[in-house]
Structure 1
Amino acid sequence: MNELNFHHLRYFHTVAHEGNLTRAAERLNVSQSAVSTQIRQLEQQLGQPLFERRGRSLVLTEAGRIALDHADSIFAAGEELLNTLGERPSGQKQILRVGSMATLSRNFQIGFLRPLLGRDNVEVVIRSGTLRDLLQNLEAHRLDVVLANTTPPRDAATPWISHAIAEQPVSLIGKPAMIGERVPFEELLAHKPLVLPTIESSIRSSIEALFDRLHIRPRIAAEVDDMAMIRLLVREGAGLAVVPPIVVKDELENGRLVEIERFPQLSETFYAVTLSRRFPNPLLRELISNLAA
């Protein structure tokens, strides 16, 4: 098998960027003849001329430009590997791959990622899906972190680490026109149409227990597993929503919706789920450290 000689490639890479054999030889601390020999051997291996001489300068051929693009990527990846495993800062763009449950509040996601947004050297990749699919991708190292509002089952085979990153109260939210004046909280729950999270939600069982204690048979207008859809329904006046206020933060601030009352002893906890890794993504480490500060 004809394998690429990376020693030859390093010489080529240096000459291509210097544009001159003399400067390249000085930088590599070898003789010009040694550099020329390495370049010729690489050209023989690739079967293409990589340079053409113009006066005292060497100019890349078409094949040389293609080879240089690959060489740049190869040596940049090598430097990134050394930086990652050596836990050193890198000059390359850093990427954080985030998995987020499709039902999770967008406002919460933005709040968690805000310290990284807008940085020139950072790219955030966000993928949504079911918790099961996201955890599989986390375990396969295709994701760095999964954002969820429930903790996944933990055992010796899948030692998830669930960082509690936020705890939000749960409130009854609605359009001002639907509320009226001085209507008791319990009466609103009993007589107004409600938009509730589905039975799989972490807060639904607590809501059901409250209805039972108050002997309320709620008028359920909709059961929704997507916080973004709950936000739209309550904005349209489909009912009063049982939801963390962060989900409708903008509407509360501009007065389009109002927070009627917070449910006692009821909250929703958000988690950043990770795996224990020897070389964690430094961007994730920064976000988790900010939470502890």
Structure 2
Amino acid sequence: MELRQLEYFVAVAEEENFTRAAERVHISQSGVSAQIRQLEQDLGASLFDRSGRGVRLTPAGAAALRHARSALAAVDAVRQAVDEVTGLIRGRLVVGMVTACTVTPLFDALSAFHHEHPGVEIVLLEDTSDRLIERLRTGRADIALVSTSGSPPPGLEAYEIIREPLVAAMPADHPLAEKPQITLADLTSYPVVSLPPGSGVRKVFDDACAAAGVNAEIAFQAVAPTAIADLAIRNLGVAILSESLTAQHRPALTTRRIEDITTEPVLSLTWPSTTNPALRKLLHHCHQSFTHPPPSNRKPQVTDG
């Protein structure tokens, strides 16, 4: 049994796909398959059920997964202990970003970190906030930019970037634009355009509707806030977005506060407690970028999914 075989086994188990696992570990699919077969032969049991369309862990594979992760974590801990003594920073950081979300200071931090520590591989991935948080909790991501309802996710460290109220956005000639403020009940007469489940904005909206006993008709969903705004501009529905996301679409869109939504979506940089020296260095650069941005970028540019 070799460490690389355990690495490939964990990659296939988490990706549930040999092709994606091969891309993740940077070797051919045939190479991953051959190493997994060798590992299964050494263990005397099949680790994956390959009979369906996807790849699923067998009971033996499920039993082995936790120990394989622990073994790889122990090896990483040995490397980190030596690196801390020698001052060397290396390894791999998986950085998650909620889909269609751009925060310029984060990119500035990644750039500064990469120039200072070129030996660290940076992997970027996009997903919903819910799935990114799950990746953080299971060790499949090191740090992530996530959008949540009301507060950062519990049990994780977080740097809050922005929180702001939800608004309803519509063209100036829409009937709701005549009201200075609107309620959730007002929205029930019109189709709604929203982000999909798994985002902080949608969680705030869904929870508020449930609390008020309101059933809003979600006519369209899109992962990009700009797409939601474009649909609203074309009168295909009232857009539900956080306030800053509508600014670039004025005067095509008029916004109104939804007075009975009191919880705000929160965009935050989130990570598990860590002794990883590479992550600690990246967090230092993030702190610098968010608190002391370049003169041309004093206000963080946020496009939140």
Q: Give me the TM-score of the superposition, normalised by structure 1.
A: 0.50
What is the aligned partner in structure 2 of residue 101 from structure 1? 98
- 1:175 Cα offset (Å): 2.0
Contact map agreement 2:133 2:146 (CA 8 A) in 1: no
Residue in 1 that maps onto 2:281: 282
Query: Which residue, 146, 159, 163 being the options, matches 2:159?
Result: 163
> Secondary structure in 2 aligned to 1:191?
coil
Does the alignment pair 1:243 with 2:241? yes
- Structure 1 residue runs of 5 or longer lacking an equivalent are 1-80, 155-159
CA distance in 1, matches of 2:218, 2:158: 34
Instruction: Give the Cα–Cα distance (whole angstroms) in 1 for the partners of residues 219 and 203 of structure 2.
Output: 17
Question: Corresponding residue for 1:121?
Answer: 115
* Greater C-alpha Rg: 1
Query: Does the residue aligned with 1:207 lie in a helix, a strand or coil?
Result: helix
Q: Percent identity?
A: 16
CA distance in 2, matches of 1:223, 1:195: 5
Q: Which aligned runs of 4 or more in structure 1 are off by greater than 4 angstroms?
A: 81-84, 86-90, 94-97, 117-120, 122-125, 130-133, 135-142, 197-200, 289-293
Within 1, Cα distance between the matches of 2:288 and 2:175?
42
Compared CA separation, residues 126 and 262, structure 1 to 2 (3 A): farther
1:273 to 260, 264, 270: 270
CA distance in 1, matches of 2:215, 2:272: 43
Partner of 1:202: 203
Match of 1:256 in 2: 252
TM-fit CA distance, 1:248? 3.1
Q: 1:236 to 1:282 in 2, by over 3 A?
A: farther
1:222 correspondence with 2:225: no
Pairing partner for 1:110 from 90, 103, 115: 103
Whole-Å Cα distance in 2 between the matches of residues 82 and 287 of structure 1?
23
Per-residue CA deviation, residues 37-60 of structure 1 (Å, 9 max, x unaligned), is xxxxxxxxxxxxxxxxxxxxxxxx
1:149 offset after TM fit, Å? 1.7
> 2:94–2:142: 8 Å Cα contact kept in structure 1?
yes
Deviation, 1:153, is 5.8
Following TM superposition, by how much is the alpha carbon of 1:99 offset from its aligned partner in structure 2, in angstroms? 0.5
Unaligned runs of 5+ in 2: 1-79, 293-305
CA RMSD for the aligned pairs?
A: 4.2
Q: CA deviation at 1:290?
A: 5.4
Alignment of 1:164-203 (within 5 A): 164-179=160-175, 182-183=178-179, 185-186=182-183, 188-198=186-196, 201-203=202-204
Q: CA deviation at 1:203?
A: 0.5
Q: Which segment drifts farther, 168-177 or 221-230?
A: 221-230
**Equivalent residue of 2:179, what SS?**
coil
CA distance in 1, matches of 2:235, 2:192: 10
How far the C-alpha of 1:115 sits from its partner, in A, is 3.7
| 8 A contact 1:196–1:204 mirrored in 2 | no
TM-score, structure 2 normalization = 0.49
- Count residues with an aligned counterpart: 197
CA distance in 1, matches of 2:167, 2:224: 13
- Do the aligned residues in 2 keep the contact of 1:244 with 1:268 (CA within 8 Å)? yes
Tell me what 2:297 maps to. none
Greater share of residues in strand: 1
Q: Within 1, Cα distance between the matches of 2:206 and 2:171? A: 25
